[in-house]
Amino acid sequence: MVEFDFDNAPEAGLKGSLRKDFFWGYATAAPQIEGAWNVDGKGPSTWDVLAHTPGRVIDASTADDACRSYDFFREDVPLMKSYGVNAYRFSLSWSRIIPLGGKEDPVNEAGIKFYSDLIDELLEANITPFVTLFHWDVPQALEERYKSMLDPEQYVPDFVRYARMCFGRFGDRVKHWITYNEPGVYALAGYAGGAHAPNRSSDREKYEEGDTSTEPWIVGHTQLLSHAQVYHLYKADFAPTQHGTIGITLSGNWSEPYDASSPADQRAATRALEFEIAWFADPVHGTGDYPDAMRAQLGTRLPAFTAAEKKLVRGSSDFYGMNTYTAFFVRDKVPPGQPVPPEDHKGNLAWFDVNSVGVSRGAESDTEWLRTSPWGFAKLLRWVWDRYRVPIYVTENGTTARGEHVSAPPGGDVLNDVHRIEFFRAYVGEVAKAVQQGIDIRSYFGWTFLDNWEWAKGYTDRFGVTWVDFESEDKTRYPKRSAAFNREFFEHLIAH
């Protein structure tokens, strides 16, 4: 059934603007959807431990069952197919594959079989798998053994062995690899703010261990080095026969000066983009080193690359993997000339929803930080393209919407998620416009396929194009109207 008439809409001129082989679909992450946290040999991850520690998750929920995707993937793939997608981005749980995580530790064949079956199911449905090796769930054993990423000497070889295992077992069928999902959010939320696993921070009222002034920068560095090793390993040992691509996915929202006419606010906005995005993107896609603004503020607390490491890291991604959601107005927090506290990890910023002349960053969602700001997305695509000139894969983008916290069956207008439709209409429209302006964009993955376990927010953030009844035994799925909207919009946009 065709519901949206794009030929007679403002989007008429965008028809066929996306390349024939454009990948579109939805993204998910293992800890957020799979459930089956301790079955068939899976080892615990740091997120399992967090979920079972009182006070760590807003609604005191766990991801023990989540969406039960481990049990229902054979139903989920056809559902996804009915949404019209041609690709699906999901992550592998390291501790399902190697329960203790380490390079000498045994492999769990049941875990391998689960992912292998999922991949086969997708391929049979003509859905291209995009596989993320790491979406935040470190095997707990490595956390206990040597504090995982805080000890790069021990961590890097363990991650490399895990990656090798995945390429060896799935690479005959998987041609699109992502090493890390959002190394920046992983480092900051887990080691600066502390709300994410492994709950480390200088905030002693809430967290027992950690040092916000140093650990996030070490953890970022460890991710870059291990990513780069895995990239080169893939290129040397697997790409010649498997012919796949591999890269890293970075988080990044747009930052706009609070007062567009103020040079100080303009500098603050650039610094925001550098702390959030160029932290990883400059070493990988640009200069090969951290941005000057970070070095200036962080000094030697920011690790340094050796010449050999720079060489290894620079150019170590076949594409720019982009996760993005919103935009902010920013200005300096601490005035010039005064010392920035060592715990500051965002580049000395203050954030605003409304700028100096009263313009709002966009419509509110059900999530405080997230507003519909397609204007910022357009600027971000341009900024990334101009600075790095590599093909862009949008690997996550989406929103929550108010009024979806109801009991099943969801009645009234709950499934008619107009707010989410408007979000996708505007953001996906910007992708098409950017492509028409010559920016090379090759994929778009909406976040997300199913309402799921949103980390420390538990089940309080519903990001899915499918409403999930978390009270029911089988986590019943109800398609929202945004799923139909996207199917028709991409049908209109992708060249035939």
Cβ closer to ligand GAL: 169 or 480?
Answer: 480
Cβ closer to ligand GAL: 17 or 181?
Answer: 181
d(CA 9, CA 468): 32
Closest C-alpha to 147, from 211, 229, 63: 211
Which residue's structure tokens are 């999930």?
A: 468
- Return the axis-axis angle of helices 183-191 and 215-233, rounded to nearest 10°: 150
φ, ψ for residue 354 (rounded to 5)?
-130, 140
Cβ closer to ligand GAL: 29 or 434?
Answer: 29
Question: What is the radius of gyration, based on Cα positions, of the chain?
Answer: 22
Among the listed residues 319, 463, 470, 489, the single contact to ligand GAL using CB under 6 A: 463
Counting contacts by CB under 6 A, is residue 182 touching ligand GAL? Answer: yes
Distance in Å, CB of 91 to ligand GAL, minimum: 9
Q: Is the distance from CB of 33 to CB of 69 less than 8 angstroms?
A: yes
Distance in Å, CB of 185 to ligand GAL, minimum: 5
Counting contacts by CB under 6 A, is residue 133 touching ligand GAL? Answer: no
- State how far the alpha carbon of 144 is from the alpha carbons of 153, 343, 365, in Å: 15, 25, 38
Cβ closer to ligand GAL: 88 or 463?
Answer: 463
HSE-CB for 29 with a 13 A CA cutoff: 21
Peptide linkage before 198 cis (omega within 30 of 0): yes
Distance in Å, CB of 213 to ligand GAL, minimum: 23
Among the listed residues 63, 67, 131, 185, the single contact to ligand GAL using CB under 6 A: 185
Cβ closer to ligand GAL: 28 or 108?
Answer: 28
Closest C-alpha to 324, from 415, 196, 430, 224: 430
Among the listed residues 229, 323, 373, 397, the single contact to ligand GAL using CB under 6 A: 323
Q: Is the distance from CB of 77 to CB of 117 less than 8 angstroms?
A: no
Catalytic residue among 215, 396, 430, 454: 396
Cβ-closest position to ligand GAL:
29
- State how far the alpha carbon of 76 is from the alpha carbons of 121, 122, 449, in Å: 10, 10, 9
Task: Point out which span in 5-13, 168-176, 178-186, 224-232 binds ligand GAL (CB under 6 A).
Answer: 178-186
Catalytic residue among 11, 182, 404, 454: 182
Distance in Å, CB of 452 to ligand GAL, minimum: 8
- State how far the alpha carbon of 50 is from the alpha carbons of 44, 193, 314, in Å: 10, 15, 34
Q: Is the distance from CB of 432 to CB of 14 less than 8 angstroms?
A: yes
3-class SS of residue 322:
strand
Task: Point out which span in 13-21, 331-339, 381-389, 447-455 binds ligand GAL (CB under 6 A).
Answer: 447-455
Cβ closer to ligand GAL: 465 or 494?
Answer: 465
Distance in Å, CB of 30 to ligand GAL, minimum: 10
Distance in Å, CB of 29 to ligand GAL, minimum: 5
Closest C-alpha to 452, from 126, 90, 85, 177: 90
Pairing of strands 176-181, 349-352: unpaired
Task: Point out which span in 147-155, 180-188, 219-227, 232-240 binds ligand GAL (CB under 6 A).
Answer: 180-188
Q: Is the distance from CB of 479 to CB of 466 less than 8 angstroms?
A: yes
Distance in Å, CB of 132 to ligand GAL, minimum: 9
Task: Point out which span in 18-26, 74-82, 179-187, 296-304 binds ligand GAL (CB under 6 A).
Answer: 179-187
> Could you give the string, one character per residue 349-388, with x where binding to ligand GAL holds by CB under 6 A and - elsewhere?
----------------------------------------
Cβ closer to ligand GAL: 25 or 171?
Answer: 25
Written as six digits, the tokens of 301 are 């607390």
> Could you give the string, one character per residue 26-65, with x where binding to ligand GAL holds by CB under 6 A and - elsewhere?
---x------------------------------------
Among the listed residues 95, 108, 201, 251, the single contact to ligand GAL using CB under 6 A: 251
Cβ closer to ligand GAL: 112 or 219?
Answer: 219
Q: Is the distance from CB of 420 to CB of 483 less than 8 angstroms?
A: no
**DSSP H/E element including 389:** none
Written as six digits, the tokens of 470 are 């978390």
Distance in Å, CB of 367 to ligand GAL, minimum: 7
Cβ closer to ligand GAL: 212 or 323?
Answer: 323
- State how far the alpha carbon of 349 is from the alpha carbons of 187, 296, 302, 328, 331, in Å: 18, 15, 18, 11, 6
182 assigned to active site? yes
- List the end-to-end C-alpha distance of the chain, in Å, as a whole number: 19
d(CA 11, CA 431): 12
Written as six digits, the tokens of 49 are 């431990």
Counting contacts by CB under 6 A, is residue 454 touching ligand GAL? Answer: yes
Distance in Å, CB of 372 to ligand GAL, minimum: 14
Which residue's structure tokens are 């799921």?
A: 452
Among the listed residues 234, 385, 424, 447, the single contact to ligand GAL using CB under 6 A: 447
> Which residues bind to ligand GAL, rule: CB under 6 A?
29, 181-182, 185, 251, 323, 396, 447, 454-455, 463
Q: Which residues are catalytic?
A: 182, 396
